[in-house]
Amino acid sequence: MEAVFGLLLMLLGVSHGVETYCDGRQDGAQCYGALGGAVVLQLMDDASEIPRYEWRKGASVILSGRKNNIVTNTIKIRSTFIPSNGTLKINNLSRTDSGEYTLRLFNLNGRETGERTLKLSVEAPVSSVQLVSECLSQGQIWVSCSFEAVDSPKYMWTLDGHTLTDTELLSGSNETNIITLKQHVSGRLVCSVRNHISSVSKELMISVCRDHSLLTCGLLSVAAVVSFVGIGVYFKWKKIKYEKAEESAAPRRTEKSEDSSVTELRSLSD
């Protein structure tokens, strides 16, 4: 739940550093912070009601106080503790901040009245996801979803808003970063990568790979048509040339026939 809430807070979007929130008032709380970002830890309700408190990491005291007075804060440079609502905000988180912390509460007599632990995990947020697809020989589509340094990444794929089904997947699954889609698959493919502190998605329009072979087919037919037309034009040209040659030969024959008809007429008149 904390993680989800943290994620929501993060999505509300600080562009510079990721800020997460975690309720550490329950013993054993698991909190997540973003590397270089900030975490707001709710350690208690109202410190002004607590005679003495101490927050340790292992043997070292990080924070201690008496009611509204902060006695120790060893990470003062990058943190703020607000006694009135018991929240500690730690900025510029590093991996060394990860670990188990223990809060101990004492009464006026110095007796311990309560103790609870909190586990903080500092993770690198997801950044620059890349989505690449490639058509395979049989028309299947190979898709890879990659990203830079991420701790405990979880993937999710959707196609036109629904999770990928076995009828669409040839290899890989909804939880792997490389998948192969079957031949007929097309649509808006989204790869989401998330961890406890951030989430990034990238989308890609997938078109049927057969389109490529169709295109090749189309180009081939165009080429065929062009060459047929070419052959046609050549023969037409040859024919015209032949006819022209015939035309130039034809008049003489006509003259001859005229002559012969004249002869015939003459012979008739004779």
Ligand X SMILES: *[C@@H]1O[C@H](CO)[C@@H](O)[C@H](O)[C@H]1NC(C)=O
Task: Supply the minimum distance, in Å, between the C-beta of residue 53 and ligand X.
Answer: 16
Based on the shown chain and the rule CB under 6 A, indicate whether residue 68 belongs to the binding site for ligand X.
no
Nearest distance in Å: CB 174, ligand X: 36
Work out which of 20, 79, 87, 198 binds ligand X, going by CB under 6 A: 87
- CB of 85: closest distance to ligand X in angstroms? 4
Q: Looking at beta carbons only, is 67 or 202 nearer to ligand X? A: 67
| Residue 80 sits in the site that holds ligand X (CB under 6 A) | no
At its nearest, how many Å lie between ligand X and the CB of residue 87?
5
Q: How far is the CB of 1 from ligand X (least distance, A)?
A: 15
Residue ranges in the chain assigned as alpha helix (H): 2-11, 210-269
Distance CA 113, CA 247 (A): 123
Kindly tell me which residue out of 92, 102, 133, 158 binds ligand X, with binding defined by CB under 6 A: 92
Q: Which stretch binds ligand X (CB under 6 A): 53-61, 84-92, 146-154, 261-269?
A: 84-92
Selected range binding ligand X among 66-74, 79-87, 128-136, 262-270, rule: CB under 6 A:
79-87
Minimal CA–CA distance to 162: which of 174, 170, 145? 174
Stretch of residues binding ligand X (CB under 6 A), selected from 63-71, 87-95, 145-153, 202-210: 87-95
Phi and psi, residue 126, nearest 5°: -70, 135
Report the residue number, 78 or 184, with the smaller CB distance to ligand X: 78
Q: Looking at the DSSP assignment, which residues form a beta bridge with residue 154? A: 194
- Residue 110, classified by CB atoms within 10 Å of its CB into exposed (0-12), middle (13-18) or buried (19+), is exposed
User: Please, which residue, 81 or 147, has the CB nearer to ligand X?
Assistant: 81
Order of strands across the sheet with 69-73?
29-34, 112-123, 99-106, 52-57, 60-66, 69-73
| Residue 4: DSSP 8-state | H
Identify residues 9-48 at the interface with ligand X (CB under 6 A): 42
By CB under 6 A, name the one of 82, 135, 170, 204 that touches ligand X. 82
CA angle 154, 156, 158 (to 5 degrees): 175
# binding residues, ligand X (CB under 6 A): 6
- 117 near ligand X, rule: CB under 6 A: no
Q: Which amino acid is at 64?
A: S
Please state the φ and ψ torsions of residue 183, each to the nearest 5 degrees.
-55, -45
Rounded Cα gap, residues 27 and 205, in angstroms = 47
Query: Which is nearest to 173 in space by CA: 189, 187, 188, 157?
Result: 157
- Across the strands, what pairs with 79? 90
Our finding on whether 85 is near ligand X (CB under 6 A) is yes
Which residue's CB is nearer to ligand X, number 82 or number 131?
82
Could you say whether residue 75 binds ligand X (CB under 6 A)? no
Q: How far from each other are the two terminal CA atoms of the chain, in whole angstroms?
A: 129
Summarize as ranges the residues that interact with ligand X (CB under 6 A).
42, 82, 85, 87, 92, 94
